Amino acid sequence: MEPKAKNKTREFSALTEKGNLASINIDQASALEIAEVMNREDQKVALAVHTQLAEVARAIEIVHDALKQGGRLFYVGAGTSGRLGMLDAVECGPTFNVSSRKVQAIIAGGRKALWKAIEGAEDDQGAGVFAVRKAKIGRKDVVCGISASGTTPFVRAALGEAYKRGARCIFITCQPHPTLPFKKGVLINPIVGPEIIAGSTRLKAGTATKLVLNMISTGAMILLGKVYRNLMIEVRPVSQKLKKRAEKIVTEILGCPAKQAHDLLQKADYEPKIALVMGKQECSAQEARHLIKKKKELWKELLGQGYGASRKRKRE
């Protein structure tokens, strides 16, 4: 674990703690002027993330490989960073039909920190180490640490412990030239500059983090074959809205009447992927599951002759 005094010195000098000249008189601005200043600053965020796309792609591939081999993805953060990690992890379930065990989030201070500030939680290095050990994180897993300032002791300690245990590590921070808590891994480093309100990293740094997490989880799931064209064919229809979405997906891909899509989904326990293969291969739900299991990530070839060939041409 890192010495606490040294860590606090870095925290004080973090770019995220500095004042922003663009908002120096924001306390005297009108409502419209406040919105304009914030909007101008927010436009810098996507550009900062754009500079990190090569590293984001590496992270996507690492997460894809881990999940494919039976590993797990863990987001680790404190405060806003932890809440953003939890948000992304939770959304993977209904969107991609992924087990809550596969994509998890660890937040300093525990679940209570999702809705309440837990004093001192982000400074507790021991808790970061303990959380990694409790989750039994190992060589198959990926740990993505999130710290806007790059210095959060809980996150750095968790990453250090995960690395010791053989996990692959990703570090997301908005601090320039950060020291890394691991020897080998991926650094995603969008430099968004000082916040509109000095130190309020829920703003630009939080937005940058959300954009990066969106790409990591969505990209990995696409590579795992959980998207067809741009449709979420593994959506978990837990509401009427999602059932309608599933029916629309099947209708669009198969080019069939809505009633046929509904009937296929009923027989497939409302799993769009199963219903699609049933419709294309004219088989039962059980046979469709067997075919998909046999094909694995190449299951989309079951939907038509052209799909596999077009994918091959793109790779060539």
Would you place residue 10 in the very low, low, confident or very high pLDDT band (cuts 50, 70, 90)? very low
Judgement on whether residues 53 and 106 belong to the same structural domain of the protein: yes
pLDDT tens-digit profile of 185-201? 999 999 999 999 998 99
pLDDT tens-digit profile of 26-44? 999 999 999 999 999 999 9
Judgement on whether residues 157 and 264 belong to the same structural domain of the protein: no
Judgement on whether residues 106 and 244 belong to the same structural domain of the protein: no
Which one of 61, 91, 287, 301 is the catalytic residue?
91
Cα dihedral across residues 43, 212, 132, 102: positive or negative: positive
- Domain-embedded: residue 67: yes
Which one of 122, 161, 195, 271 is the catalytic residue?
122
Q: Is 91 a catalytic residue?
A: yes
Judgement on whether residues 147 and 16 belong to the same structural domain of the protein: yes
Domain count, the chain: 2
pLDDT tens-digit profile of 275-310? 999 999 999 999 999 999 998 878 889 998 433 333
Judgement on whether residues 297 and 206 belong to the same structural domain of the protein: no
- Domain-embedded: residue 233: no
Domain of residue 270, residue span: 240-315
- Domain-embedded: residue 198: yes
Judgement on whether residues 196 and 265 belong to the same structural domain of the protein: no
- Domain-embedded: residue 228: no
Judgement on whether residues 134 and 215 belong to the same structural domain of the protein: yes
Q: Is 287 a catalytic residue?
A: no
- Domain-embedded: residue 235: no
